[in-house]
Structure 1
Amino acid sequence: MALRTARNLAYCLNSIRNYSTNGPLVNVTVNEKSGFATVTLQNPPVNSMNLELLTEISHTLQQLEKNKCRGLILTSASNKVFSAGIDIFELHKPNSDRISQTWSFVQEIWIRLYGSAYPTVAVINGHATAGGCLLTLASEYRIMLNKFTIGLNETQVGLTPPTWLIDAMKNTIGGKQTEFALTAGTLFETEEALKIGLVDEVAQSKHDAIEKAEKFLNKFKRIPPHARSITKAKLRGANIQALVRNKDKEVKGYVDFITDPQFQDTVGKYIELVKQKSSK
């Protein structure tokens, strides 16, 4: 058994080395002693989730699952922003096929990360808004640095979060807090997020956060991976299956909503506001 485990780990490490250098938007490194993979988003300046970044994230998660790696730490190359979510420019005057692919990849990423067989930690070393918060909610454990914000602020730009994401937030912080957070599009400061359970720990630096993440992952060192993954699947499976059943319908609804003239007017005004703030 030990020899088989060692062989699987060696295969995983070699496979990751082979593909991780190919994608400029996602970097993968592996701790050869522990077998934990650190996946770093590097789409400056704010890790906006355009189609290209989403494609690389999905491919990375697929390879990690395929090669049976032992744990994931998800973080950002930026020291200010974990991820600002879906690229707002993807939503303005979009190509229907491209926006359809974009949301399909969001769904795939959620399914792979939320339902991964291996344990997962989000090291939130910057602001995590909208889709950035989505990635952290899909993880099992969240460690956040001070003086940043996190939350699903979709309503501020006229969007609504999908049901499966709402359910995940309910499971994390409870129904009452979720209703308040989502209807107001609230962004929580680090200490506020810790207080309501949106994050599990606060770290003083990224190095400190990585150490805490490894400590969390090491809790499962002596737990049989098969038993752990089955238990996780039982806990999260219903939410995943609900998404799987409605994937195509949801994509169509998303495209219809994004291309609606009223939403296009809202997002156009929002972009102009952002440009005005940037120019000052």
Structure 2
Amino acid sequence: MEALRKIGQTGGCLVSRALSASLHRRQTGAVPLLLLQQKRYYADPGSYVQVVRDTVYEDIAVVKMNRKPVNGLNKDFLTELNITLEKLENNASYRGVILTSANPGVFSAGLDITEMYQKSPEYTSAFWRSLQDFWMRLYSTNLATVAAINGHSPAGGCLMALSCDYRVMAQGKFTIGLNEVQLGIVAPFWFQELMIRTCGERETEKALQLDHARVLSKQMGRHQLREKLHSKQEEDIAFFTNFITKDAIQKSIGRYLEGLKNRKK
């Protein structure tokens, strides 16, 4: 609980810093606990996503992922996340988003492996497109974004965190990183470039992101990679579909899923 409280405080600080210089002042006394306050939905929550308007900074939305048990990213979940973010973008009362998990101990375990196992090429392509579309929106949104990582965040969970403007992680024995190689899957070019850009060029981006300049700097810095994926979207889908349906890869995924079953016994 203390780790979640710290994430709430830090996430609120980072979002407010990115939004406006007027919110830069350090808080004294009681600090708003963004992730522990009374829920107040801007709309009815979806199947897998809860949206809470912060009761102190009302232009900040806390988006909680809630696809039990580990927020595995399947096609429906990705589509709902994409729609949720689009609604927030189109709602002028919101200027920032904290992305976190409603499930203690795990931010997101990444892509739902079953979405890539023994599925038709048509379904696999649709699944990959849903990931591309959500990533392009999250990465290039004008909203200030913070990933409040309150648990494990491998693979696609790490991708979401890297795509946000800021990241804060709870203390504990939690893991984060791109671990696709463990399944014999090569991380797509935009996964790799995102990690390089975020970890290598982060200080410059952070220094420039203030209020209106934040939006301009963010779009200038991120437009090229987003457009690179957009221009190669069909090619990337075809590559992923052809790769993931290969017999050797399917066998590797099958062994991994079997291993997960054996752990639960």
> The TM-score by the shorter chain falls in which range?
0.7 to 0.9
CA–CA distance in 2 between the matches of 1:108 and 1:235? 19
The question of whether the paired residues in 2 share the 8 Å contact of 1:49 and 1:86 is answered with yes
Q: Which residue of 1 aligns with 2:49?
A: 26
Shift of 1:224: 4.3
- Between the aligned partners of 2:200 and 2:252, the Cα distance in structure 1 is 30
What is the aligned partner in structure 1 of residue 20 from structure 2?
none
- Whether 1:44 and 2:44 are equivalent positions in the alignment is no
Q: How far is the alpha carbon of 1:154 from its aligned partner?
A: 0.2
Give, in angstroms, the shift of residue 54 of structure 1. 0.7
Alignment partner of 1:122: what SS? strand
Greater mean deviation of Cα atoms: 89-98 or 132-141 = 89-98
> How many residues are paired up?
218
Question: 1:17 is paired with a residue of what secondary structure?
Answer: coil
Query: Where do residues 24-103 of structure 1 align in structure 2 (5 Å cutoff)?
Result: 24-34=47-57, 35-68=59-92, 69-103=94-128
Distance, in Å, in 1 between the alignment partners of 2:211 and 2:169 is 28
Task: Tell me the alpha carbon deviations over residues 207-248 of structure 1, each in whole angstroms, 9 at most, x when there is no partner.
Answer: xxxxxxxxx9xx97xx543x4212210011111111110001
What is aligned with 2:221? 235
Query: Residue 158 of structure 1 is aligned with which of 166, 184, 191?
Result: 184
TM-score by length of 2: 0.78
Report the counterpart of residue 142 of structure 1 in structure 2: 167
Matches within 5 A, 1:124-139: 124-139=149-164
Q: Work out the CA distance in 1 between the residues paired with 2:221 and 2:78.
A: 26
Aligned with 1:248 (options 206, 218, 234): 234
Q: Map Cα deviations across residues 157-176 of structure 1 (whole Å, 9 max, x no partner).
A: 0111111121111122349x
Aligned to 2:140: 115
CA distance in 2, matches of 1:247, 1:71: 28
Is residue 51–residue 98 contact of structure 1 (8 Å, CA) maintained in 2? no
- CA deviations on 1:2-58 (whole Å, 9 max, x unpaired) are xxxxxxxxxxxxxx723x42x120011112542101100000100000111111101
Unmatched tracts of structure 1, length 5 or more: 1-15, 176-196, 198-215
TM-score (norm 1): 0.74
Indicate the RMSD between aligned Cα atoms, in angstroms.
2.0
Aligned sequence identity (%): 38
For structure 2, which runs of at least 5 residues remain unmatched after alignment? 1-40
Distance 1:174 1:141 in 2: 14
Paired letter, 2:188: P
Q: Kindly provide the CA deviation profile for residues 54-81 of structure 1, in whole angstroms up to 9, marking residues without a partner as x.
A: 1110111111122242100000011111
Q: The residue matched to 1:83 in structure 2 has which SS?
A: coil
CA contact (8 A) 2:75 2:131 kept: no
**Kindly tell me: are residues 144 and 274 of structure 1, through their superposed partners in 2, closer, same or farther at Cα, counting changes over 3 Å?**
same
User: d(CA) in 2 for partners of 1:29 and 1:263?
Assistant: 40
Q: For residue 52 of structure 2, what is the amino acid of its counterpart?
A: T
